[in-house]
Amino acid sequence: DTGVSQDPRHKITKRGQNVTFRCDPISEHNRLYWYRQTLGQGPEFLTYFQNEAQLEKSRLLSDRFSAERPKGSFSTLEIQRTEQGDSAMYLCASSPPLGPASEAFFGQGTRLTVV
Amino acid sequence: AQSVTQLDSHVSVSEGTPVLLRCNYSSSYSPSLFWYVQHPNKGLQLLLKYTSAATLVKGINGFEAEFKKSETSFHLTKPSAHMSDAAEYFCVVTKGPGKLIFGQGTTLQVKP
Protein backbone atom coordinates (compact mmCIF):
# COMPACT_ATOMS: atom_id res chain seq x y z
CA ASP A 1 0.00 0.00 0.00
CA THR A 2 1.60 3.27 -1.08
CA GLY A 3 -0.95 5.60 0.49
CA VAL A 4 -0.74 7.62 3.70
CA SER A 5 -0.69 5.27 6.66
CA GLN A 6 -1.81 6.10 10.17
CA ASP A 7 -1.41 4.07 13.33
CA PRO A 8 -3.33 3.18 15.38
CA ARG A 9 -6.69 3.34 13.67
CA HIS A 10 -8.52 3.54 16.97
CA LYS A 11 -7.43 4.58 20.45
CA ILE A 12 -9.44 4.61 23.65
CA THR A 13 -7.75 6.27 26.58
CA LYS A 14 -8.63 7.51 30.03
CA ARG A 15 -8.72 11.20 30.70
CA GLY A 16 -5.34 12.47 31.80
CA GLN A 17 -3.31 9.89 29.91
CA ASN A 18 -0.86 10.70 27.12
CA VAL A 19 -1.35 9.34 23.62
CA THR A 20 0.84 9.33 20.53
CA PHE A 21 -0.21 8.80 16.93
CA ARG A 22 1.99 8.02 13.97
CA CYS A 23 1.68 9.01 10.33
CA ASP A 24 3.70 7.62 7.44
CA PRO A 25 3.26 9.82 4.35
CA ILE A 26 3.67 8.84 0.73
CA SER A 27 7.41 8.44 0.29
CA GLU A 28 8.06 11.20 -2.26
CA HIS A 29 5.96 13.74 -0.41
CA ASN A 30 7.85 16.40 1.51
CA ARG A 31 4.76 18.12 2.93
CA LEU A 32 2.80 16.64 5.79
CA TYR A 33 -0.32 17.92 7.53
CA TRP A 34 -2.34 17.07 10.60
CA TYR A 35 -6.06 17.81 10.83
CA ARG A 36 -8.72 17.11 13.44
CA GLN A 37 -12.30 16.21 12.60
CA THR A 38 -15.08 16.12 15.15
CA LEU A 39 -18.43 14.50 14.51
CA GLY A 40 -20.52 16.33 11.94
CA GLN A 41 -17.80 18.85 11.11
CA GLY A 42 -15.23 19.31 8.41
CA PRO A 43 -11.57 18.69 9.20
CA GLU A 44 -9.74 21.55 10.92
CA PHE A 45 -6.09 22.31 10.26
CA LEU A 46 -3.69 21.63 13.13
CA THR A 47 -0.17 21.84 11.77
CA TYR A 48 2.02 21.58 8.67
CA PHE A 49 5.53 20.32 8.00
CA GLN A 50 7.76 20.84 5.03
CA ASN A 51 10.44 18.20 5.33
CA GLU A 52 11.37 18.26 9.04
CA ALA A 53 10.44 21.90 9.59
CA GLN A 54 7.13 22.68 11.28
CA LEU A 55 6.06 25.75 9.34
CA GLU A 56 2.65 26.48 10.76
CA LYS A 57 0.62 25.64 13.84
CA SER A 58 -3.04 26.36 14.43
CA ARG A 59 -4.27 28.02 17.58
CA LEU A 60 -6.23 24.78 18.04
CA LEU A 61 -2.90 23.14 18.89
CA SER A 62 -2.70 23.86 22.59
CA ASP A 63 0.40 23.37 24.72
CA ARG A 64 -0.73 19.80 25.39
CA PHE A 65 -0.26 18.95 21.71
CA SER A 66 3.10 18.43 20.06
CA ALA A 67 3.94 17.21 16.59
CA GLU A 68 7.28 16.15 15.24
CA ARG A 69 8.76 15.00 11.98
CA PRO A 70 12.35 14.30 12.99
CA LYS A 71 13.84 13.08 9.72
CA GLY A 72 11.38 14.54 7.29
CA SER A 73 9.66 11.20 6.82
CA PHE A 74 7.10 9.90 9.35
CA SER A 75 5.46 12.20 11.85
CA THR A 76 4.07 11.79 15.36
CA LEU A 77 1.34 13.72 17.11
CA GLU A 78 1.33 13.53 20.90
CA ILE A 79 -1.44 14.69 23.19
CA GLN A 80 -0.54 15.03 26.85
CA ARG A 81 -3.05 14.93 29.70
CA THR A 82 -5.93 14.08 27.38
CA GLU A 83 -9.32 15.66 27.94
CA GLN A 84 -12.74 14.50 26.78
CA GLY A 85 -12.81 17.37 24.31
CA ASP A 86 -9.84 15.81 22.53
CA SER A 87 -12.07 12.99 21.30
CA ALA A 88 -12.02 13.25 17.52
CA MET A 89 -10.66 11.77 14.34
CA TYR A 90 -7.07 12.84 13.75
CA LEU A 91 -6.20 12.92 10.06
CA CYS A 92 -2.80 13.01 8.44
CA ALA A 93 -2.22 14.07 4.86
CA SER A 94 0.78 14.52 2.61
CA SER A 95 1.50 16.24 -0.66
CA PRO A 96 4.38 16.55 -3.10
CA PRO A 97 6.47 19.71 -3.57
CA LEU A 98 4.20 22.65 -4.26
CA GLY A 99 2.67 23.29 -7.64
CA PRO A 100 -0.15 25.75 -8.32
CA ALA A 101 -2.26 23.80 -5.85
CA SER A 102 -1.06 20.56 -4.49
CA GLU A 103 -3.37 17.68 -3.94
CA ALA A 104 -3.28 16.41 -0.39
CA PHE A 105 -3.60 12.67 0.06
CA PHE A 106 -5.29 11.74 3.31
CA GLY A 107 -4.86 8.73 5.52
CA GLN A 108 -7.81 6.94 7.06
CA GLY A 109 -7.27 8.65 10.37
CA THR A 110 -6.89 7.72 14.02
CA ARG A 111 -10.11 7.86 16.00
CA LEU A 112 -9.44 8.93 19.58
CA THR A 113 -11.97 8.39 22.34
CA VAL A 114 -11.20 9.86 25.74
CA VAL A 115 -13.27 8.34 28.54
CA ALA B 1 -9.59 35.65 4.71
CA GLN B 2 -10.28 32.42 2.89
CA SER B 3 -13.41 30.47 3.75
CA VAL B 4 -16.06 28.27 2.19
CA THR B 5 -19.73 27.91 2.97
CA GLN B 6 -21.63 24.80 1.98
CA LEU B 7 -25.21 25.90 1.64
CA ASP B 8 -26.86 22.54 2.38
CA SER B 9 -26.00 20.24 5.24
CA HIS B 10 -28.04 17.42 3.73
CA VAL B 11 -29.13 16.66 0.16
CA SER B 12 -31.36 13.76 -0.82
CA VAL B 13 -31.83 12.62 -4.43
CA SER B 14 -33.22 9.58 -6.17
CA GLU B 15 -30.91 7.27 -8.05
CA GLY B 16 -30.56 8.41 -11.65
CA THR B 17 -31.46 12.04 -10.98
CA PRO B 18 -29.04 15.00 -11.03
CA VAL B 19 -26.95 16.00 -8.04
CA LEU B 20 -26.21 19.60 -7.04
CA LEU B 21 -24.09 20.37 -3.98
CA ARG B 22 -23.64 24.10 -3.43
CA CYS B 23 -20.53 25.90 -2.23
CA ASN B 24 -19.73 29.60 -1.97
CA TYR B 25 -16.24 30.80 -1.24
CA SER B 26 -14.60 33.89 0.12
CA SER B 27 -11.04 34.71 -0.83
CA SER B 28 -8.90 37.81 -0.94
CA TYR B 29 -7.10 36.49 -4.00
CA SER B 30 -7.65 34.02 -6.80
CA PRO B 31 -8.38 30.83 -4.92
CA SER B 32 -7.58 27.19 -5.45
CA LEU B 33 -10.72 25.19 -4.75
CA PHE B 34 -11.34 21.51 -4.25
CA TRP B 35 -14.10 19.04 -3.61
CA TYR B 36 -13.33 16.05 -1.42
CA VAL B 37 -15.54 13.06 -0.67
CA GLN B 38 -15.55 10.99 2.51
CA HIS B 39 -17.19 7.58 2.55
CA PRO B 40 -17.85 5.92 5.91
CA ASN B 41 -14.71 4.37 7.35
CA LYS B 42 -12.63 5.56 4.42
CA GLY B 43 -10.15 8.37 3.98
CA LEU B 44 -10.90 11.66 2.30
CA GLN B 45 -10.58 11.42 -1.46
CA LEU B 46 -10.06 14.27 -3.89
CA LEU B 47 -12.88 14.53 -6.43
CA LEU B 48 -11.64 17.51 -8.41
CA LYS B 49 -9.67 20.75 -8.17
CA TYR B 50 -9.76 24.23 -9.67
CA THR B 51 -6.46 26.06 -10.04
CA SER B 52 -7.27 29.08 -12.26
CA ALA B 53 -7.23 27.17 -15.54
CA ALA B 54 -10.54 26.09 -17.10
CA THR B 55 -13.54 27.24 -15.10
CA LEU B 56 -15.40 23.97 -15.71
CA VAL B 57 -13.52 21.22 -13.94
CA LYS B 58 -14.15 17.54 -14.45
CA GLY B 59 -13.40 15.07 -11.71
CA ILE B 60 -13.68 11.41 -10.96
CA ASN B 61 -16.86 9.33 -11.03
CA GLY B 62 -18.67 11.73 -13.37
CA PHE B 63 -18.58 14.75 -11.06
CA GLU B 64 -17.81 18.23 -12.26
CA ALA B 65 -17.78 21.73 -10.83
CA GLU B 66 -17.90 25.20 -12.30
CA PHE B 67 -15.96 28.12 -10.90
CA LYS B 68 -18.02 31.31 -11.13
CA LYS B 69 -16.09 34.32 -9.95
CA SER B 70 -19.02 36.71 -10.30
CA GLU B 71 -21.08 34.53 -7.96
CA THR B 72 -18.13 33.36 -5.79
CA SER B 73 -19.46 29.85 -6.23
CA PHE B 74 -18.00 26.42 -6.92
CA HIS B 75 -20.99 24.09 -7.06
CA LEU B 76 -20.54 20.35 -7.56
CA THR B 77 -22.78 18.54 -10.01
CA LYS B 78 -23.36 15.10 -11.46
CA PRO B 79 -25.93 14.33 -14.15
CA SER B 80 -27.11 11.04 -12.70
CA ALA B 81 -26.70 9.90 -9.10
CA HIS B 82 -25.61 6.39 -8.25
CA MET B 83 -26.16 4.61 -4.96
CA SER B 84 -22.41 4.52 -4.43
CA ASP B 85 -22.32 8.34 -4.43
CA ALA B 86 -23.88 8.43 -0.97
CA ALA B 87 -21.22 10.04 1.23
CA GLU B 88 -20.09 13.27 2.89
CA TYR B 89 -18.80 15.95 0.51
CA PHE B 90 -16.52 18.80 1.46
CA CYS B 91 -15.80 22.00 -0.41
CA VAL B 92 -12.27 23.19 0.33
CA VAL B 93 -10.21 26.32 -0.29
CA THR B 94 -6.48 26.66 0.17
CA LYS B 95 -4.94 29.19 2.50
CA GLY B 96 -1.29 29.33 1.69
CA PRO B 97 0.80 26.32 0.74
CA GLY B 98 0.12 24.32 3.84
CA LYS B 99 -3.45 24.71 4.83
CA LEU B 100 -6.79 23.53 3.53
CA ILE B 101 -9.94 25.21 4.81
CA PHE B 102 -12.89 22.79 4.79
CA GLY B 103 -16.55 23.59 4.65
CA GLN B 104 -18.96 22.02 7.11
CA GLY B 105 -19.80 19.24 4.71
CA THR B 106 -22.90 18.10 2.84
CA THR B 107 -24.32 14.64 3.37
CA LEU B 108 -25.60 13.20 0.11
CA GLN B 109 -28.31 10.58 0.42
CA VAL B 110 -29.25 8.58 -2.67
CA LYS B 111 -32.59 6.82 -2.59
CA PRO B 112 -33.33 3.78 -4.75
Three state DSSP letters for chain A: CCCCEEECCEEEECCCCCEEEEEECCCCCCEEEEEEECCCCCCEEEEEEECCEEEEECCCCCCCEEEECCCCCCEEEEECCCCHHHCEEEEEEEECCCCCCCCCEECCCEEEEEC
Ranking A5-19, A50-64, A90-104 by mean pLDDT, the lowest is A90-104
**Chain B residues interacting with chain A (CB cutoff of 8 angstroms):** 32, 34, 36, 41-46, 49, 51-52, 90, 94, 96-105
Residue of B nearest to A34 (CA): B99
Contact of A45 with chain B, judged by CB distance below 8 Å, is answered with: yes
The pLDDT-based confidence of A99 (bands split at 50, 70, 90) is: low
CA B19 from chain centre, in angstroms, equals 11
Kindly report the average pLDDT of chain A as a whole number. 92
Residue of A nearest to B34 (CA): A103
The mean per-residue pLDDT over the stretch A87-95 comes to 95
Q: In this predicted model, what pLDDT tens digit does every residue of A9-56 receive, in sequence order?
A: 999 999 999 999 999 999 989 999 999 999 889 999 999 999 999 998
Contact status, residue B102 vs residue B34, Cβ threshold 8 Å? no
Contact status, residue A105 vs residue A29, Cβ threshold 8 Å? yes
Count of other CB atoms within 10 angstroms of residue A16: 10
Which residues on neighbouring strands pair with residue B20, listed in sequence order? Answer: B77
- Do B46 and A4 lie within an 8 Å CB cutoff? no
Give the residue among A95, A113, A87 at the shortest CA–CA distance from A23: A95
Q: Between A101 and A34, whose confidence is greater?
A: A34
Which of B36, B42, B103 is opposite residue A108, by nearest beta carbon?
B42
Res A1: pLDDT? 54
Low-confidence ranges of chain B (pLDDT < 70): none
The distance of A12 to chain B (nearest Cα, Å) reads 17
Instruction: State percent of chain A over pLDDT 70.
Output: 95
Res A70: pLDDT? 92
Count of other CB atoms within 10 angstroms of residue A89: 18
Residues from chain A that touch B41, judged by Cβ atoms under 8 A, are: 108
Res A93: pLDDT? 93
